[in-house]
Amino acid sequence: MTITISVGSGKGGTGKSMFVANMGVLLAKSGKRVCVVDLDLGGADIHILYGVFEPKFCLTDFLSRRVDSLEDVTQNLLGSFGDLRIIAGSGDTLQTANMSFQEKQRLLRGLSTLDADVLLLDVGAGAGYHALDFFMFSDVQICVTNPEPTAVLDFYNFLQLATIRKALSSFLSRSEVGKALKDRHFHTLAEVFALAEEIKPGSREQTQRSLETFNPLLITNMAGSKAKINQLKLQRLASKYLGISIPNLGEIPFDRTIQEALRAYLPVCEFSPTCPSALALADISERLEKVIDLFVSKRQA
């Protein structure tokens, strides 16, 4: 039974890939079979964070049909990482960065066949269609941001567009409402509600119900005493304007050791297990394990 976790962010530079790389190691060391997939199309680099500079295979090999399945491009990591595999990203190619709808659906089907306890998806930064679809594909969604005002603004914009994407997916593409909403561009969730209700009374309630299970978890990176996010305000905004909750999964303090670990091509939890950021990541991993166990128990019920 595989639990899929996607990690996204509103902009680059928030520490999203660093977070994914460390969660992969920590969850694997807890006894889980973990596969980390780099879906940052056109900007893939998570393999480097594990010290893998020239992966034998990458996502492009699957997308270009050089191999038949995603299992063929997985790579086992050697060392003390536990049962951890990675799928290196596609690199800078126009074909993969601008994949067609059919190619994306094939990739999503391939992801659903991977044999692992936990599938960790490093979703590209920003709010393009590919990033949003990969983000929404998972069982558990995590957003990474930092206290910079621009990062918080981009985070909220990403969250709003993800919520709109989730709301639109609640309508079948061939339904009356689905057809009407398909080619429209929406800036706010309220616009989706209003038009759906206008086309078919009762659609607003249907859309709101679809959002009840969408509760992306929040990670704040580079947090410090002088740089904190007003999480309560963010949560109130998300509840009032998006109709969702964003539970806080944890904070990673500003720690220069992370940069030292990056230069050593190691996750910080391996490079310096007792530094402040590594200890915070270990705490977050324990909380995330509880979330995973909850999803497993729900499926088995």
> Is 0.75 topped by the overall pTM?
yes
Taking residues 96-123, report their average pLDDT.
90
Q: What is the pLDDT of residues 179-197, one digit of tens each?
A: 666 667 777 788 877 877 7
CATH number listed for the domain at residues 3-291: 3.40.50.300
Q: H or E stretch including 118?
A: strand 118-123
Q: What is the pLDDT of residues 243-255, one digit of tens each?
A: 889 999 999 999 9
Longest dimension (CA), the chain: 59
- Yes or no: say if 214 and 238 are a contact pair by the CB < 8 Å rule: no
Lowest mean pLDDT, pick from 102-106, 115-119, 267-271? 102-106
Helices within the chain (DSSP H only): 16-29, 59-63, 94-97, 101-111, 129-136, 149-168, 176-182, 189-199, 203-210, 231-237, 257-263, 268-271, 276-300
Q: What is the pLDDT of residues 211-237, one digit of tens each?
A: 888 899 999 999 876 666 777 788 888
d(CA 1, CA 185): 37
- Domain ranges (residues) in the chain: 3-291
pLDDT band at 240 (very low <50, low <70, confident <90, very high): confident
- Yes or no: say if 291 and 217 are a contact pair by the CB < 8 Å rule: yes
Q: Whose structure tokens read 């951890």?
A: 84
Q: Whose structure tokens read 């905004």?
A: 237
d(CA 292, CA 56): 31
Residue 274 has pLDDT above 90, yes or no: yes
- Yes or no: say if 50 and 88 are a contact pair by the CB < 8 Å rule: no
Residue 15 has pLDDT above 90, yes or no: yes
State the pairing for strand pair 75-76/84-87.
antiparallel
